[in-house]
Amino acid sequence: MRWVTMRVNEKIIDQDDVARQMALDIARSFIVQAPAGSGKTELLIQRFLALLGRVQRPEAIVAMTFTRKAAGEMLERIVAALRTAETGPAPLASHHARTWKLARAALARDAALGWNLTAHPARLQVHTIDALCANLMRQAPLAAKVGAQPQFVENARSMYVEAVRLELDAAGDDPAWVRLLAHLDNDANRAVDLIAHLLGKREQWLPFLVSKDRAMLRDALEQMLIEAIEVELSAVYAAIPASLAAPLLALARYAVQNLEGNGVSAALVACANAGKLPEPTVDSMAQWQALADWLLRSGDPRFRASVDVRNGFPPGGRPAALGHADRSARKDAMHDLLDRLAAVDGLGPALGRVRTLPPPRYADESWSFIGALLDILPRCVARLALVFSSTGRIDFAEATLIALRALGDADAPTDLMLSLDMRIEHLLVDEFQDTSHAQFELIESLTAGWTGDDGRTLFVVGDPMQSIYRFREAEVSLFLSACQQRRIGSVHVEPLTLSRNFRSQRNLVDWVNRVFPAVLPAQDDAARGAVAFKCATPARDAASGAAISLDICSDMQYEAKSVVTRVREALASGAETVAVLVRKRADLADILPALRAAGVAFSAVDLDRLSERQAMLDLLSLAHALVQPDDRLAWLTVLRAPWCGLTLPDLFAVANACSGETLVAAIDADIDTSELSGDGKFRLQRFASVVAPALRNRGRMPLHALVRGVWIALGGPACIAESIDLAGARCFFALLGEHAAGADVPDWPAFVQAFEAIHAEDEPDLLARVRVMTLHRAKGLEFDVVVMPGLGRRPGKNEPQLLRWRRRRNGWLLAPIKARSIGPAEDDPVHAYLRRLAADEDEAELGRLLYVGCTRARQRMHLTAVLATERGDGPQQRWRPPAKGTALAKLWKPLHEAGSVPPHPGTIPVPRTPVDGVPLPRLPVDWRTPVLPDPLAIASAAPITSLQESVEFDWARETARQIGIVAHRILQRIADEGLDAWTESRIGSHRQRIAQELAAVAFTADEISGAVEQVVAAITATIADPRGRWLFAPTHLHANSEYALSTSSYRATRVAIALHSSTASANATARSSRCMRRRCARWRRGRSAWASTFRCLVDGASGNRGQTTVFRRYMTTNSATGPSRSSEAGLSHGQRCKTETNRGLSPIRSRAATLKFKFFKRFRIFIGHL
């Protein structure tokens, strides 16, 4: 058996090699399906290089992708391949050798035609689709109609809302608006929100809705309804085996005879008496629906388990009764037929869909509403264009529409299209499975008129199994249809499929091959966005240990602990990259705090919104209270916030005392405070002493400065426990400054909307081995170990849409939202049908999302979920099957069959002891803003001017400084984690990450290799040196690599040793001891003033004049002779004094300033006695 498997794998590998070789035939056009880990980016680069070796101009090749990151990576890898081929030998690996060979051919063409691409890579046309549309727009200013070049905005919702409100204000008693508002129960705000949502997708529907008159549009839409109905009926007609048709109809005739007079459906009677199955046409839809109702369970697309008299099969009665044998035989025959029909793959769901088909005509009520929208939407689009023009800003959808207008169509090409037709000879598209209809039309326009023999080619690559962006209007059906029809626009494309997985170890690939045939459908279905699973062949050997694990937990807190455990295990095993991937941000509510509490360093991007952090919500309430002093809720929130911290009884007393007036009276001390507690009176008095002057100063300073000053004076920064909230506060004040006008925010809802859209981002830890992100963001990435929690959670509900639509090859399906006056049990039938189609597509995409997550791992993957328990056989507990719609529900059956579901532990965890309420976080009642200290006295021996003196290194460049920064980061990690965790092999394994950090600060490809070796050599030399190991030993009790001291909370008694490490690459001139002494002397002169300042700070802070020694050590690397080291004893700057004086701010803000001693990351501080 193993020999047969090896032979099959060898055959698949051969086919994979043939497909990759065919893809480099630059005379042909291809559509390539490349599963996860198959190296599709490398194939795209190889195709690009192959084209460079043949074209006359590099600009004749255009590559498009969807994100700036992907475009940048593709361009970087193309340039790197050219530079490697220019200077390096041929690699040994076959796929790298092929890239090198193609790059050499491209360089030969480059040299022959004088392109000089390695020096001028801007000639390589690699763009995002949005960037290409913007470029086309700039080339057609008349078609753009926006005047000067506009600015692009990522989130234009406020502009959509403004356009709709302006149109609504100008509508008066317009009949279309009257009809729309009546449909929505006169809810104008809801109407504005729903239309604004549609404007964000106008590139999808606008070209169709404005291209036909009203009567033609209704005919076209109803014709598409008929086609959709007949497609569903044809699927059922084709699925029923011919051998079962006759017995089915015979038993149906028997049943209708028994049901006669008992309300039997006339359609079922007609179907049974027809002698053959109904034709799959709209005229026979009622018969098919009656047949489906007879065969299937009520409200369930499964065949009936049994039949009785209600289905036309009466009981047989006593054995001696007349007709008993015939009745029993008919009933048994029906049960057998139902079993055989149930065994037909896909028949049950297909019949279930037939039961819910809409009528082939729109109801007049629905069409009148659609007619109103047809009047309103184009006017809103025109109003939006005016908003764009007045602000000089547009969204990317507008750029797409302008680009399509500028290109025209094949029958009436514009000058721009004709010009591009001459310039673009080869078009490459990455991630083609994520293309929207508008982007697909753009590709069709760019390739209009191309023929197979004119030398122009189209090359698209993607993986429909990884299409997970429906919320961005991605249509995987476009990929499937292009493969089936072998055509994209006018271009004939040949389908190719890659099959090898170079990313994951064999056990992971084998597990995915076993499980996912049950997760993804067996067949493609473009109408429902269903993509069939295709197996992959592993290219890597199996790793030891379990590749997959499933942890089932009883609640979310236990799941968070399980995630922390798995992450720690992965880090301990030496995994360089560990990813925690979730379906949505809300799934991390318990996990991120657990990781922080466990001391696990991680990097998380775009996960925490400002609006989801309590400290930021308190800031928002403070700002609103100062902008709208009559807002009682805002003031109550501010009084409850930690900087004031009134208890609920005190808060209730304040509200009662201010009954009938605003809470400003409490701030102005115009209320009776006898009902307040002593603590509450003291807190309210301190709060009023800060806020009352601020209210009087409204309008005399920028609003953001006023709010910031009040926040600081109240102790807002002292209430923050996490640095991410400090970063969020900076973002908040900057956003408030953008939206404020004087002492007011003219459009507060727009400000709140912008506030809710901003993510709170802490300073990223580039060296953290743990990454936390959503599954959508993880697409295209890979990690050693992947942890996927939250698989048992339900997805959020989709927002209602004013219009639902589905584009088909020949037209559109369109339906309006149901009227508010319709009961919850009723719905517009066409709208209900489209909603069910959307639900089917969501279900199919969930399977693909799981596939994306499970194919990110290189070595191991851990799945976790929370499930409820139920009683099993006897007293034993068992896990309750996951709820429908959850990710785990998709995996449950194959995991159960594989024995991968862990058994229930047998006992329910003991409930945790409940606490009486939630503790109120607040500042101590006697908290005061720290007072600024007197100015520091600097000794005359260290003049002020010397503090600004810089040490000049004539041998150093900016690159040397960046090398030092990266080395210092690793030193800090060593100090935090301990020497035992850092071996020479681990340092060496960081080369790729060090290279990424250096590339991020503009190191060229030629410089990175040498710079990486300098960093590795410096760190290796440090931990190999006895004194270096002593410096980083864990025996120093109070050692810190970054230490912030504040006079309000800590009094430093002695700073014994401060280490400042520095890196320098010794060139030929600098290798002598004389040169090193000269370097030390320069450092000593440049830092002596800092040492004196430091001594004054320490002596002043401690009140004692104790001994202060600052030890400084160089780390040098010598490219010729290897690592060398020298040391110097003496005084260095050691500490930087940072005084926040808040110049130019209000007195309120000045009182909040504190003196801080900040030891930056490049220092390792030991506090104690020598």
* Residue showing tokens 């795209």: 44
- Which pLDDT band, with edges at 50, 70 and 90, does 844 fall under? very high
pLDDT at 290 over 90: yes
Check residue 236 and give its pLDDT: 93
Check residue 316 and give its pLDDT: 65
* Residue showing tokens 């184009």: 378
3-state SS assignment for residue 877: strand
Instruction: Check whether residue 949 and residue 1079 sit in a common domain.
Output: yes
Biggest distance spanned by C-alpha atoms of the chain = 125
- Which pLDDT band, with edges at 50, 70 and 90, does 1129 fall under? very low
131-135, 148-152, 695-699: least confident range: 148-152
Give one DSSP letter per residue of 1041-1101, joined into a string. SSEEEETTT-----EEEEEEEEEEEE-SGGGSHHHHHHHHHHHHHHHHHHHHHHHHHHHHH
Instruction: Check whether residue 617 and residue 598 sit in a common domain.
Output: no
* Contact status, residue 827 vs residue 531, Cβ threshold 8 Å: no
Sequence-ordered list of residues with C-beta below 8 angstroms from that of 531, at least 6 positions apart, any chain: 464, 465, 467, 476, 480, 520, 521, 524, 844, 848
pLDDT in tens, 173-192: 899 999 999 988 889 999 99
* Contact status, residue 548 vs residue 859, Cβ threshold 8 Å: no
In a domain, residue 905? The reply is no
Check residue 1157 and give its pLDDT: 32
Q: Is 141 exposed, middle or buried (0-12, 13-18, 19+ CB in 10 A)?
A: middle
Sequence-ordered list of residues with C-beta below 8 angstroms from that of 1100, at least 6 positions apart, any chain: 936
pLDDT in tens, 67-102: 888 898 899 999 999 999 988 788 877 778 999 999
Instruction: Check whether residue 1023 and residue 1081 sit in a common domain.
Output: yes
218-227, 463-472, 927-936, 970-979: least confident range: 927-936
Check residue 1004 and give its pLDDT: 62
pLDDT at 1042 over 80: no
Q: Which among 328, 355, 382 is the end of a domain?
A: 355
- Which pLDDT band, with edges at 50, 70 and 90, does 932 fall under? low
Instruction: Check whether residue 788 and residue 752 sit in a common domain.
Output: no
pLDDT in tens, 446-458: 898 888 788 899 9
3-state SS assignment for residue 1113: strand
Instruction: Check whether residue 1005 and residue 1064 sit in a common domain.
Output: yes
Check residue 422 and give its pLDDT: 66
The more confident residue out of 913 and 579 is 579
pLDDT at 199 over 60: yes
Closest CA to 60 of 139, 123, 131, 127: 123
- Averaged pLDDT for residues 918-928: 78
Instruction: Check whether residue 988 and residue 857 sit in a common domain.
Output: no
d(CA 432, CA 439): 10
Highest-confidence range of 558-567, 728-737, 911-920, 1090-1099, by mean pLDDT? Answer: 558-567
CA 3: distance to chain centroid?
Answer: 43
In a domain, residue 57? The reply is yes
Check residue 889 and give its pLDDT: 92
In a domain, residue 176? The reply is no
pLDDT at 1041 over 80: no
pLDDT in tens, 721-744: 777 788 888 889 988 988 888 888
Instruction: Check whether residue 269 and residue 350 sit in a common domain.
Output: yes
CA 358: distance to chain centroid?
Answer: 36
pLDDT in tens, 1092-1125: 555 555 454 444 433 333 333 333 333 333 333 3
Number of domains forming the structure of the chain: 5
Instruction: Check whether residue 554 and residue 583 sit in a common domain.
Output: yes
CA count, 13 A, side-chain hemisphere, 48:
28
pLDDT in tens, 531-551: 999 999 999 999 888 889 999
pLDDT in tens, 761-784: 655 565 688 999 999 999 989 999
pLDDT in tens, 2-45: 444 445 556 666 788 899 999 999 999 999 999 999 999 999 99
Measured between its terminal Cα atoms, the distance across the chain in Å is 72
CA count, 13 A, side-chain hemisphere, 285:
18
d(CA 304, CA 287): 19
Highest-confidence range of 307-316, 461-470, 955-964, 991-1000, by mean pLDDT? Answer: 461-470
pLDDT at 584 over 60: yes
In a domain, residue 476? The reply is yes
d(CA 562, CA 568): 10
Distances (CA, A) of 603 to 580, 606, 762, 814: 10, 10, 9, 44
pLDDT at 526 over 50: yes
Highest-confidence range of 241-250, 262-271, 1058-1067, by mean pLDDT? Answer: 241-250
In a domain, residue 388? The reply is no
d(CA 958, CA 808): 57
d(CA 501, CA 1088): 59
Instruction: Check whether residue 1005 and residue 1098 sit in a common domain.
Output: yes
d(CA 404, CA 144): 10
In a domain, residue 576? The reply is yes
Query: Residue 842: in which H helix or E strand, if any?
Result: helix 829-854
Instruction: Check whether residue 562 and residue 448 sit in a common domain.
Output: no
431-445, 865-879, 1087-1101: least confident range: 1087-1101
* Residue showing tokens 């040196």: 1025
State the CATH number of the domain containing residue 656. Answer: 1.10.486.10
Both tokens of 270, joined, read: 């007609």
Report helix angle 506-515 to 829-854, nearest 10: 160
pLDDT at 1070 over 60: no
Closest CA to 49 of 104, 97, 103: 103
The more confident residue out of 894 and 141 is 894
Sequence-ordered list of residues with C-beta below 8 angstroms from that of 688, at least 6 positions apart, any chain: 666, 667, 668, 669
Check residue 47 and give its pLDDT: 96
* Contact status, residue 600 vs residue 560, Cβ threshold 8 Å: no
In a domain, residue 158? The reply is no
Distances (CA, A) of 888 to 793, 838, 850, 891: 8, 20, 9, 5
Check residue 973 and give its pLDDT: 79
Q: Which among 897, 926, 957 is the end of a domain?
A: 897
In a domain, residue 856? The reply is yes
Check residue 1036 and give its pLDDT: 62
Closest CA to 286 of 263, 311, 267: 267
Instruction: Check whether residue 486 and residue 553 sit in a common domain.
Output: no
- Which pLDDT band, with edges at 50, 70 and 90, does 1000 fall under? low
CA 950: distance to chain centroid?
Answer: 44
* Residue showing tokens 């090749």: 61
Check residue 5 and give its pLDDT: 47
Sequence-ordered list of residues with C-beta below 8 angstroms from that of 1001, at least 6 positions apart, any chain: 962
State the CATH number of the domain containing residue 35. Answer: 3.40.50.300
Closest CA to 768 of 593, 578, 595: 578
Phi then psi for residue 842, to 5 deg, are -65, -40
60-64, 380-384, 500-504, 634-638: least confident range: 634-638
pLDDT at 430 over 80: yes
Check residue 1105 and give its pLDDT: 38
657-666, 745-754, 947-956, 1149-1158: least confident range: 1149-1158
Domain of 798, in residue numbers: 548-605+768-805+822-897
The more confident residue out of 1088 and 52 is 52
Sequence-ordered list of residues with C-beta below 8 angstroms from that of 794, at least 6 positions apart, any chain: 883, 885, 886
Phi then psi for residue 840, to 5 deg, are -65, -40
Check residue 1048 and give its pLDDT: 38
| b/e burial code for range 496-525 (CB count within 10 A of at least 16 → b) | bebbbbebbbbbbbbbbbebbebbbbeebb
Check residue 874 and give its pLDDT: 59
Instruction: Check whether residue 1002 and residue 1130 sit in a common domain.
Output: yes
- Averaged pLDDT for residues 57-76: 91
The mean pLDDT of the chain is 79
DSSP letter for 201, please.
T
CA count, 13 A, side-chain hemisphere, 380:
30
d(CA 1064, CA 326): 99
d(CA 1057, CA 1073): 26
Q: Which among 331, 355, 379 is the end of a domain?
A: 355
Check residue 1169 and give its pLDDT: 28
